[in-house]
């Protein structure tokens, strides 16, 4: 297995927590590597590129895809090594105390510290296990929304009862000709206000029913009708559709293995039990975002960013005990002085 150069910190995961960790590590003068299993950076935000994000501090309402692009641009500020399409499989220590991070590309990445920012694990949407589903993915069966505009004027059936399904139903109101929201239970597990918005907006809500069969056209790819089965009576009935969006949650891949001598305590085999300062139970391994659990945890983007700052500060003092425990604010940081001058000159129209 090929061995790469040593970095001060290696961040595992390229979602919001990981990307902000990369930026803040650069701000603190650390040599950074980020490894992301998927081919694109942005994490789960990229699964909902057209959904609006309202709860990021100081950020006007922004689409998920745009927000991800902004996070990536910010992460690139200090030139970190950003690696995608590589799945971390094993972490161990060598005799000198360095962490050796083995990945699916056959390379071992040595690092003085690690920030785990791998969210809930490698996520893929749960797919329908029905005949014709795989073929229909090439046409009008969706698990994510590439563009809301493409559903304009259509009859769209959305299957699911969680926040994502209900949120999409709300987004489609006024865009799709008809929105049909199907849930296999009597009650939704989504936010009540959004459920009410969907009902009041004219969506057709079908409860206690699940997709039983996909009926395709002559091409055997495009879905023309969805056959539903009532969970109480067993009765089957069909609905004509233009598109189907399935929002049944995600399947988690948590195959990452730690060598016994360097394994932090985890819950459910994945989530790191830690502190509000982003420590895990293993010295030199810190965590940020959804993968970290501690009392008082804020499971919002703002919480992920706070975790990232704390994780970077802890990593900095771990590898350099004489360094300050906190980074300077950007308005006082020497690393921004020349950049600020350039931006001000540009705004003023001075070349």
243 carries a ligand binding annotation: no
Task: Identify each DSSP E strand in 140-289 by its residue range.
Answer: 141-142, 155-159, 178-182, 204-206, 209-216, 223-230, 236-240, 243-246, 250-253, 257-258, 266-267, 271-273, 285-287
Beta bridge partners of 197: none
CB 99 within 8 Å of CB 10: yes
- Per the document, the length of the chain is 351
User: Of the candidates 122, 119, 103, which has an alpha carbon nearest to the alpha carbon of residue 111?
Assistant: 103
Distance, in Å, from the CA atom of 310 to the CA atom of 245, rounded to the nearest integer, reads 38
Distance, in Å, from the CA atom of 170 to the CA atom of 203, rounded to the nearest integer, reads 8
271 carries a ligand binding annotation: no
Measured between alpha carbons, how far apart are the two ends of the chain, in Å?
49
Distance, in Å, from the CA atom of 52 to the CA atom of 217, rounded to the nearest integer, reads 34
Distance, in Å, from the CA atom of 346 to the CA atom of 205, rounded to the nearest integer, reads 53
Distance, in Å, from the CA atom of 246 to the CA atom of 243, rounded to the nearest integer, reads 10
36 carries a ligand binding annotation: yes
221 carries a ligand binding annotation: no
CA dihedral 239, 242, 247, 250 (to 10 degrees): 120
Per DSSP, 23 falls in state H
Cβ neighbours of residue 42 closer than 8 Å, sequence gap 6 or more: 14, 15, 16, 19, 65, 68, 69, 71, 72
263 carries a ligand binding annotation: no
55 carries a ligand binding annotation: no
Which residues carry a binding-site annotation?
Answer: 36, 44, 48, 88, 290, 331
Q: Which residues are annotated as a binding site for FAD?
A: 36, 44, 48, 88, 290, 331
């Amino acid at each position: 297995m090929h061995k790469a150069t040593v970095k001060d910190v290696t961040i595992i995961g390229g979602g919001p927590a990981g990307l902000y960790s990369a930026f803040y590590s650069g701000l603190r003068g650390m040599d950074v590597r980020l490894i992301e299993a998927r081919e694109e950076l942005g994490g789960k935000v990229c699964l909902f590129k057209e959904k609006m994000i309202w709860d990021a501090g100081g950020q006007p309402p922004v689409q998920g895809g745009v927000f991800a692009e902004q996070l990536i641009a910010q992460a690139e500020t200090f030139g970190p090594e950003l690696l995608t399409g590589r799945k971390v499989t094993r972490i161990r220590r060598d005799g000198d105390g360095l962490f050796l991070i083995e990945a699916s590309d056959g390379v071992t990445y040595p690092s003085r510290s690690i920030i785990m920012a791998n969210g809930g694990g490698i996520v893929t949407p749960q797919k329908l296990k029905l005949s014709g589903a795989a073929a229909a993915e090439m046409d009008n069966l969706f698990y994510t929304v590439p563009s809301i505009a493409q559903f304009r004027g259509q009859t769209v059936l959305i299957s699911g009862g969680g926040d994502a399904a209900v949120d999409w139903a709300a987004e489609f109101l006024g865009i799709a000709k008809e929105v049909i929201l199907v849930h296999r239970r009597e009650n939704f597990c989504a936010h009540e206000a959004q459920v009410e918005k969907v009902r009041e907006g004219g969506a057709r809500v079908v409860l206690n029913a699940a997709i039983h069969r996909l009926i395709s056209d002559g091409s055997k790819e495009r879905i023309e009708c969805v056959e539903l089965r009532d969970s109480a009576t067993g009765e089957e009935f069909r609905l004509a559709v233009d598109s189907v969006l399935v929002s049944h949650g995600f399947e988690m891949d948590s195959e990452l293995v730690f060598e016994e001598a360097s394994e932090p305590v985890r819950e459910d085999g994945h989530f790191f039990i830690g502190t509000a300062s982003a420590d895990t139970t293993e010295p030199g391994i810190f965590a940020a975002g959804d993968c970290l659990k501690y009392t008082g945890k804020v499971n919002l983007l703002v919480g992920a960013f706070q975790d990232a700052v704390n994780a970077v500060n802890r990593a900095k003092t771990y590898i350099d005990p004489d360094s300050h425990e906190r980074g300077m604010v950007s308005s006082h940081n020497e690393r921004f002085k020349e950049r600020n001058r350039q931006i001000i000159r540009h705004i003023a129209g001075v070349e």
